[in-house]
Amino acid sequence: MSKESHMNTSAASDAADAAARPLAGKVAVVTGAGSGIGRGSAVALAGAGASVVANDVNAPWAQETVDLIVASGGAALADGGDVSNSSDVKALVGKAVDAYGGLDVMHANAGVERYVSLEEMAEVDMDLLLDVDLKGVLLCAQHSIAPMRARGGGSIVFTSSVQATHSLPGCVVYAAAKAGVIAAARTLTLEVGCDNIRVNAISPGTIDTPMLRRDLDDMNVEESEGFLDRVRAANTLGRIGTVEEVGALVMFLASDASSYISGTNVYIDAGFTAVKTF
Ligand SMILES: NC(=O)c1ccc[n+]([C@@H]2O[C@H](COP(=O)([O-])OP(=O)(O)OC[C@H]3O[C@@H](n4cnc5c(N)ncnc54)[C@H](O)[C@@H]3O)[C@@H](O)[C@H]2O)c1
């Protein structure tokens, strides 16, 4: 092989490595990473080469996600903090900086849901939803800004929901929190764009996660089958989404492939928001 063709082969192999691992050398935090969408995101980010701190208030679940990542050759650490507590979020970000040298990606994803009418909702549940689904997301973003600025930029992704913009009964407080998250992404980008930090929200439709399974368990068999049939009929692909599909979107928004996308909300719902009725 000539010297020139050897250099071409090596450049091609570097390019292939960069394409396969677009987040190599990056550091990511994912909250609510012990289950569902958060676990799917943590696995996707680690698979793309990022070192990941997997947070979940249920610490053994966070550790399970870390074990999955490490077993497939990735780098990850667990964190058991509560995203609604500022000191816990500060410590979570500090863990990423101390262990891996900085922070490039924050996926503020932890969330809780209670299906109950506003009239009947207990104040304790209202506080929980607003604390985790809205304040928790804001705290994660707030504590990410300084370390991302120190790295010359970063990507913040909030998990919202189709329910922020497309109403379902029993979801008033959840919808208000999730709509707040979209507004926060749009507004925060004005404050941090100058630091090359991008902020986006994602709005999943119905994704097969333990949260969905718990909701189904609360229904009788007929109700849950009817619900699943209606969900399938209410999107254009006729099926429920997977955490791997959401993980791929987070990976895209975390990577330089989305370098000109900021302040927006990306639906991942197979056209649920395009279909007129549910
Ligand atoms: N599953 C869906 O169809 C769907 C659709 C739209 C939006 N979402 C949103 O996606 C996110 C993930 O949902 P999921 O379906 O994977 O749910 P999930 O219940 O499977 O996972 C949520 C995780 O967040 C953790 N968590 C809860 N409170 C926390 C706190 N205070 N601090 C840290 N971790 C905490 C839980 O322990 C759990 O492991 C949520 O924000 C949810 O609102 C889900």
Task: Tell whether domain 23-207+242-268 is in CATH 1.10.10.10.
Answer: no
CA pair distance 195, 54, nearest whole angstrom: 25
Query: Which atom in ligand 1 lies closest to the alpha carbon of residue 88?
Result: 32
Cβ of 37 less than 6 Å from ligand 1: yes
pLDDT at residue number 118 = 97
**The predicted structure's pLDDT at residue 4:** 61
Q: Strand, helix or coil at 261? A: coil
Q: In this predicted model, what pLDDT tens digit does every residue of 237-270 receive, in sequence order?
A: 999 999 999 999 999 999 999 999 999 999 999 9
Q: What does the H/E/C string look like for 205-249?
A: CCECCHHHHHHHHCCCHHHHHHHHHHHHHCCCCCCCECHHHHHHH
Average pLDDT over residues 87-109: 98
Does residue 187 register a pLDDT over 80?
A: yes
pLDDT band at 167 (very low <50, low <70, confident <90, very high): confident
Ligand 1 atom with the smallest distance to the CA of 211 is: 19
Chain-wide mean pLDDT for the chain? 94
Please give the Cα distance from 151 to 101 (Å, whole number): 9
- Report pLDDT for 135: 98
| pLDDT value of residue 72 | 97
Q: Could you tell me the residue ranges of all domains in the chain? A: 23-207+242-268
- The pLDDT confidence band at residue 2, using thresholds 50, 70 and 90, is low
Tell me: the pLDDT tens digits for 16-48?
777 889 999 999 999 999 999 999 999 999 999
pLDDT tens-digit map of 110-120: 999 998 999 99
* Burial class of residue 98 in the structure, from the number of CB atoms within 10 Å of its CB (0-12 exposed, 13-18 middle, 19+ buried): exposed
Q: Is 41 in the pocket of ligand 1 (CB under 6 A)?
A: no
Report the catalytic residues: 174
Q: How confident is the model at residue 277 (pLDDT cuts 50, 70, 90)?
A: low
Task: Report the pLDDT value the prediction gives residue 5, as an integer from 0 to 100.
Answer: 60
Closest by CA to 145, choosing from 196, 88, 110, is 196
Does residue 58 have its Cβ closer than 6 Å to ligand 1? Answer: yes
Q: Band of the pLDDT at 154, cuts 50, 70, 90?
A: very high
pLDDT tens digits for 4-20? 665 566 777 777 777 88
* pTM given for the model: 0.95
